[in-house]
Amino acid sequence: MNTFQVIVVGAGHAGIEAALAAARLGLRTACVTLRLGNVGHLPCNCSIGGPAKGHLAREVDALGGQMGVTTDHTLTHIRRVGTGKGPAVQTVRAHVCKVRYPAFMRQVLELEPNLTLLEGHAERVELQSGRVVGLWVEGTLLSAPAVVLTTGTFLNGLCHQGRQQTVAARHGDRAVSALSEFLNGIGVRLRRFKTGTTPRIALGSIDRSRVEALDSEPEAGALSFLHDAPMPERELLPCWQTRTNESTHAILREHLGESAMYSGQIEGVGPRYCPSVEDKIVRFADKESHPIFLEQEEWDGESVYVQGFSTSMPADVQLKALRTIPGLESVEMLRPGYAVEYDVADPLQLDPSLMSHQAEGLFLAGQLNGTSGYEEAAAQGLVAGINAAHLALGQAPVLFGRDRSFIGVMIDDLVTKGVEDPYRMLTARAEHRLLLRHDNADERLTPLARELGLCGDRRWARFETKWDAIASGLAQLRAFTVTTRANPWMEARGWSPIVNRASLFELMRRPGFGLDEAVALARFWDQGGATLSDLGGAPGPVRDQIELAALYEGYIQIQAKTAERARRLDQMPIPSAFSYHALGGLSYESIEKLSRVRPITIGQASRVPGVRPADIALLIGHLRAGRT
3-class SS letters over 434-465: CCCCHHHHHHHHHHHHHHHCCCCHHHHHHHHH
Checking if the pLDDT of 202 tops 60, the result is yes
Q: Which fold has domain 6-196+342-451?
A: FAD/NAD(P)-binding domain (3.50.50)
45 close to 93: Cβ distance less than 8 angstroms = no
pLDDT digits 0-9 by tens, 120-147: 999 999 999 999 999 999 999 999 999 9
Question: What crossing angle do the helices spanning 13-24 and 374-393 adopt, rounded to 10°?
Answer: 30
pLDDT band at 265 (very low <50, low <70, confident <90, very high): confident
Enumerate helices (H) and strands (E) in the chain, giving the number of each: 21, 23
Domain ranges of the chain: 6-196+342-451, 200-215+234-340, 457-557, 572-624
- 291 — phi, psi (to 5°)? -70, 145
Is 310 exposed, middle or buried, given 0-12, 13-18 or 19+ CB atoms closer than 10 A?
A: buried
**pLDDT at site 368:** 97
pTM passes above 0.75: yes
AA identity, residue 364 = L
pLDDT digits 0-9 by tens, 510-560: 989 999 999 999 988 887 656 676 787 888 899 999 999 999 999 999 999
User: Which has the higher per-residue pLDDT, 347 or 169?
Assistant: 347
Pure H helices in 509-626: 515-525, 533-536, 540-551, 553-570, 588-597, 602-606, 613-624
Q: Burial letters for 425-438: b for 16+ Cβ neighbours within 10 Å, e otherwise?
A: bebebbebbbbbbb
pLDDT digits 0-9 by tens, 308-329: 999 999 999 999 999 999 999 9
**pLDDT at site 526:** 83
**pLDDT at site 357:** 97
Q: What is the mean pLDDT of the chain?
A: 94
Q: Which is it for strands 362-364 and 146-149: parallel, antiparallel or unpaired?
A: parallel
**pLDDT at site 153:** 93
**pLDDT at site 173:** 87
Q: Indicate the CATH number of 200-215+234-340 among 3.80.30.20, 3.40.190.170, 2.40.30.260, 3.40.50.2300.
A: 2.40.30.260
Q: What is the largest CA-CA distance in the chain?
A: 83
The CATH number of 457-557 is 1.10.10.1800
CATH 1.10.150.570 fits 572-624, yes or no: yes
pLDDT digits 0-9 by tens, 564-618: 988 999 999 999 888 998 888 899 899 999 999 999 999 999 999 999 999 999 9
- Long-range CB contacts (within 8 A, 24+) of 247-255: 247/324, 248/289, 248/321, 248/324, 248/325, 249/281, 251/317, 251/320, 251/321, 251/324, 252/277, 252/278, 252/281, 252/313, 252/317, 252/321, 253/281, 255/313, 255/314, 255/317
Strand partners, 355: 363
pLDDT band at 624 (very low <50, low <70, confident <90, very high): confident
> What percentage of residues in the chain have a pLDDT greater than 70?
99
